[in-house]
A and B are shown apart, each in its own frame.
Chain A
Amino acid sequence: MATISSNLLFIAFILYLVATLFYGGSIKSKKELNEKKETNKWGKIAVVLTIVGFIAQLGYFITRWIAAGHAPVSNMFEFTTFFGMALVGAFIVIYFIYRTTLLGLFTMPVAILVIAYASMFPKDITPLIPALQSYWLHIHVTTAAIGEAILAISFAAGLIYLVKAIDQTKLNKRNFWLEVVMFALVAVLGFVAVSTVFSAAGYHEKFNWTDKHGTVAVVEYTMPAISGPHAGELLTKDGFKPLIEMPAFINAKKLNTVIWSLMAGILLYGLIRLILRKRIAAALQPLVKNIKLDFVDEISYRSVLIGFPVFTLGALIFAMIWAQMAWSRFWGWDPKEVWALITWLFYAAFLHLRLSKGWHGEKSAWLAVLGFVIIMFNLVAVNLVIAGLHSYAGS
């Protein structure tokens, strides 16, 4: 069952990739993309592929659930994969409201990156610790992820807005920051690339190191150590000698992964720039020329409106009910709880700002981008860096 499950996920992944190409194709046609019910042939194929992919991933989810005996949302791999699936699902819903394939061209790559990122984590089916043994695991985590996914659609729409609205003829602050967003997406790809390469090569090296309490422990690297652990002593013969040694309070292994990802990201980004001969956002600009700004602005706003109640319900209310049962208090200022509150406050501020005219359009699009950054921070950094009650066993 577990094998069927991972095959289905792989099929879904490939389908999403192919669908993205078709979304690209659907843009090429000269027809107006705004507010028209008709989608061209390419677009229709893209949507069908997306839906089939979504069904395949649903199959992955169900079969893994059967294999594990609990909903597969209990570790970093499972949760992130589910988030990717929710993103595709949210896109499908929004697509049937607004019928624009351009949104697919921007959402699907993000979903693909999310799923690719997820599969860099250990994929074993993990048993549930006592606190997680509750049907609220399924309810709370899935609802929260779906809410975040709908909110993330506003990021995709915001990105379209910014790509279209920002002048790319000269370098300025706005297109610099937009390019930073593009680079961040490429850097995720960089992380996936280096992780895949080193794991395919079976790279391992071990160190003895001393932590901040003076205890000596062994740490195993799966990438050559650029940043070595504190007082590290290489145990593996012919292992790569660290270039810099880190102080004890820094997790040198995680930092090493970040360094490698950034290096790969820069390399990839450089290659892309070399081929495109312009900024990525500038290269994307022709694709969005047929869409109206206030139309994407509305999609972005509407996604927040739809996603906000779902997020509140899943990430705060259901979370509180479960916390009351498992930990005896509905709120305990655990970092993950606080970051859910921060996300919620952010989108509350977003919705209030939309009341005043000056915050429509580009400012609103930047906020949508920032909202997604917060969601990603909550998913990645809070789980892996700021350890708390919610931290998954990640590496």
Chain B
Amino acid sequence: MKDVKCECGHVNPHGTVLCEACGKVLDERENKDQLLDMRYEGSARRSQTYNKTIVDKIWNFFSSVKVGVWLIIITLLASILGTILPQKMYINLPPDVYYEQEYGWFGKLYYQLGLHDLYGSWWYLLLISMIGISLVICSLDRVVPLYKALKAQRVTRNEGFLKRQRLFGTNHVIDDQDFDIVKKHLKEKHYHVREENGDLLAEKGRFSRWGPYVNHVGLIIFLFGGMLRFFPGMYVNENLWVKEGETTAVPETGETFYLQNNQFILQHYDKNKDKAFEKAIEQAGEVVKNYQSNVVLYKRVGESLPGEKPKLEKVTDYKVRVNHPLTFDGYSVFQSSFRSELKAMTFMLTNKNTNQTFGEMKINFEDPKEKYDLGNGYSVKILNYFPDFEFDKNGDPSTKSRVPNNPAFIFQMISPENPDGEKSFVAIKQTIEPFGDNTYKMAFKGIETKNVSGFIVRKDSTLWVIILGGILFMIGVIQGAYWNHRRIWVQNKNGQIWIAAHTNKNWYGLKREIEKVIEDTKLNMPDDQLQSEQADKGGV
């Protein structure tokens, strides 16, 4: 494409609106009387210049801020939908049951539309990736020409350029030293002052122009980090239950690390001790103070054959609490939940008529014995044990799992009177005597429980990318928001001194600064042409 040569001699790329060097209007598309559109310095942006091939069309689509804003708004609205009902990760029933049961037809519809997993849906991810593409193309379309234009700018500017700045004023009479005073003031205000042909350009804060691009790069890295999670090995997220006193291999560590749970601790606030919270505790009942698992981390030494007990070497003792995960070798173990499991049950062999007891027996669920001898000719046999009792389809007793959630037994109670024994079926809160009236019963005495700590084992190798993205984003957004790019031109035109000024934002601050700069001189404060323009229209 042909380049455009400005009358000042500078050669601009095709599509340039304002000459990069002197600011002369090259592409008179806009109304001559209006203020200049200073966005991106009127540089030649690809999206504004080419629109022929399919690549151009895609580029132009994604480079548009309007499209970007629409993508943001659509994502925003979609995100709202996902907060109406709990998402699938926060429910504790199968989704096809939960939503209809809890929220009726609306819940059913919500589930059928796939809104229960909105943030993992293909179209939500598509929206996010479109925002990502938009970020890349928008930034590239602008940052390169903007950089070139700002680099090529010369001190002396075209008259038309100066006149059509928002802040502009002319001065007929000035003192000889005024120019020097202004220069001194500008330097005191940390402006970078350049001079050519007796004209002056003072500039500061140009780096704030790069803020948006820096933060966009940060966001892209952040999104990329989020994508990395889908690659195998980058992300581990497993649940791990360890009973008190037991040692279990930490999942996904290749059987290298083992965790021993010594004790699970659950503490509540005590209104007598924690006086400051007395009233609140009375209101709320019990408030949990601490969830803690005292664990020991072991590392396997050497190779072990399958089935052989691995040799373990202690790495560390740790108290895993909420907010205080145990970290090792890139893994983190978080305290996430706990449950109590029945450990043992105690029964007393009792005569139903006299209530006399004949010794007690403790059944340890991890190792139930076949026969418990109570002495004096009394003993009890366990004929059958159902750890997680239920009646199966045929109405026969069976067990759902090996976990003692709802234990039931068939006992044979042997006594001197009944050496053959009496049979009794005992489950929680029910006793069935299959062969009529027994003389003895198994009276329930107590239970012992054992805590099981629930951990989350996580390894997230994408975290560093996410952190880098986050830091870059913050730097960029601060750079762009808390600094302004200000330029003040003081130039000799037709024997007059012209002052024009531009800032990318915070015009109020720029005006205050110019007031200070022209103090002690005869120079007049330039007009805010936007305000007078609005006043003309009958506004303020």
Contact = CB atoms under 8 A, between A and B. Distances in A.
A295 B531 CA distance: 10
A293 B539 contact: yes
A333 B119 contact: yes
Given A298-B508, A352-B72, A130 B290 contact: yes
Contacts of A324: 463
Given A68-B276, A329-B458, A386-B84, 7 more contacts: A305-B505, A328-B336, A333-B87, A334-B90, A338-B119, A345-B75, A349-B73
Nearest to A134: B323
| B interface majority secondary structure | helix
A124 to B, nearest CB: 4
Interface of A: 2, 35, 67-69, 98, 122, 124-127, 129-131, 133-134, 212, 249, 292-295, 298, 301-302, 305-306, 308-309, 312-313, 317, 320, 324-330, 332-335, 338-339, 341-342, 345-346, 348-349, 352-353, 355-357, 382, 386, 388, 393
B506 interface: yes
A338 B322 contact: no
A133 B269 CA distance: 13
B281 A127 contact: yes
Interface of B: 37, 39, 65-66, 68-69, 72-73, 75-76, 79-80, 82-84, 86-87, 89-90, 102-104, 119, 237, 269, 274, 276-277, 279-281, 283-284, 287-291, 321-325, 332, 334, 336, 456, 458, 463, 466, 470, 473-474, 477-478, 481-482, 505-508, 511-512, 530-531, 534, 539-540
A355 B39 contact: yes
B322 A326 contact: yes
A292 B508 CA distance: 12
5 contacts: A124-B280, A342-B80, A349-B72, A382-B83, A388-B86
A203 B286 CA distance: 26
A77 to B, nearest CB: 11
Contacts of A306: 481-482
Nearest to A325: B323
A-B complex: 10 closest residue pairs judged by Cβ atoms: A130-B322, A328-B334, A124-B280, A127-B277, A124-B279, A126-B280, A335-B83, A345-B76, A134-B323, A349-B72
Contacts of B69: 349, 352-353
A2 B278 CA distance: 12
Interface centre among B80, B279, B322, B478 (most CB of A within 10 A): B322
B323 A212 contact: no
Interface centre among B68, B83, B284 (most CB of A within 10 A): B83
A295 B530 CA distance: 11
B530 A294 contact: yes
B438 to A, nearest CB: 38
B322 A133 contact: yes
A346 B74 CA distance: 11
Contacts, number: 144
A133 B323 contact: yes
Contact of B478 (A133, A309, A328, A345): A309
A395 B76 CA distance: 28
Contacts of A338: 79-80, 82-83, 119
B277 A126 contact: yes
B76 A346 contact: yes
Nearest to B271: A127
A2 B530 CA distance: 54
Given A130-B322, A130-B323, A333-B119, A212 B80 contact: no
A349 B279 contact: no
A131 B322 contact: yes
A294 B336 contact: no
Contacts of A325: 323-325
B119 A308 contact: no
Interface centre among B72, B289, B531, B539 (most CB of A within 10 A): B72
A328 B283 CA distance: 30
Given A131-B323, A249-B104, A298-B508, A342 B481 contact: no
Nearest to B138: A352
Contacts of B482: 305-306, 309
B477 A312 contact: yes
A386 B83 contact: yes
B470 A35 contact: no
A227 B395 CA distance: 48
Nearest to A354: B505
A23 B325 CA distance: 52
A167 to B, nearest CB: 12
Interface centre among A294, A388, A393 (most CB of B within 10 A): A294
A347 to B, nearest CB: 10
A389 to B, nearest CB: 8
Contacts of A67: 276
B506 A298 contact: yes
Nearest to A334: B90
A382 B79 CA distance: 14
Given A126-B277, A330-B466, A355-B39, A342 B283 contact: no
B72 A130 contact: no
Contacts of B276: 2, 67-69, 125
Contacts of B84: 386
